[in-house]
Amino acid sequence: MRKIAFFDIDGTLTSEIDGSVPEDAAAAIARARKNGHLMFINTGRCFQNVEPCFRRIGWDGYVCGCGTNIYCDGKDVYYVPQTHATIMRILEIARRTDVDILFESRTQVAFDLSRPLHHPRAVRQYQAFVDRHYRMPENLENPNFFSDKFVIWYQEESQLAAFRQVSDQWFDCVDRGGTFREFVPKGYSKATGIQFVLDHYSLTLEDAYALGDSNNDLPMLSYVPHSIAMGNASPTSLFDQVEYVTAPSSQGGIRQALAHYGFI
């Protein structure tokens, strides 16, 4: 019987040590597909940020942007865009509350550089995009600028509270730890993405498996009956909320999980 597995990227598909894709993970995914099963990435990243090193593994599709953009068998089958007006409201409150903001869409990423970035993690992320030769627009007021979702870094809780007085009209706030928050259009998540894909292939929840390593994977891990936490998951409380705990990513965790559930 055909089954389907959904993989987070960072810390799940990639080694928690150096961020690379373990060779045995890629080989196990290829073998599972050869055995007739469906393999999907399910990520908060928008499609343009699913780098070639991940795409080369070979997939049946992608659930991107926390369920807002879905690809099946090489086709773009679902997309939820935001209006320019909504994004300008978000940009305005980001500047008023002095948070660092990164806008994401399926075609580009963009920091607000109208003033220097404050948070060290925001600075590092910006530099990482520069190093990867990403083209990032700087004129965010351009009427042709759009975004699907966004993340912010802040210093004081009062900044987040003031920001959310505006953003909560349209977006759900996902706690990514520390002073880092992800904002996803209301009603969308990795779980809604899974259900869309199951309907697309006429599969049931019982056919679905999800692999993750952090709290932002909980929407999909709590949605499917067969939930798998990587051995390197953080926080470790995640272990009590899943059906199966596999080895760390760097120690054959993907291969072990796929073998445990009969994919390979």
* Domains of the chain as residue ranges with CATH: 4-79+188-260 (3.40.50.1000), 84-185 (3.30.1240.10)
Could you say which DSSP state residue 10 is in? I
CA separation, residue 193 to residues 23, 103, 174, 199 (Å): 27, 20, 16, 10
- What pLDDT score was predicted for residue 176? 85
Residues 6+ away with beta carbon under 8 Å from 166: 89, 90, 92, 93
Cβ–Cβ < 8 Å for 236, 220: no
Rg over alpha carbons for the chain, rounded to the nearest Å, is 18
- Most confident range (mean pLDDT) of 27-36, 46-55, 168-177 is 27-36
Backbone angles phi, psi at 66, to 5 degrees: 55, 50
Alpha helices in the chain (DSSP H): 23-34, 52-55, 84-97, 120-131, 157-167, 190-201, 218-221, 253-260
Kindly report whether the global pTM for this prediction surpasses the value 0.85: yes
Q: How far apart are CA 232 and CA 16, in angstroms?
A: 7
Tell me the C-alpha distance between 135 and 109, whole Å.
Answer: 8
- Paired with 149 in beta bridges are 104
| pLDDT tens digits along 152-183 | 999 999 999 999 999 999 999 988 889 999 99
The set of residues, in sequence order, having a beta carbon less than 8 Å from that of 192 and lying 6+ positions away, is: 67
Q: What's the pLDDT band for 216 if we cut at 50, 70, 90? A: confident
pLDDT at 135: 86
Per-residue pLDDT averaged across 139-163, rounded? Answer: 96
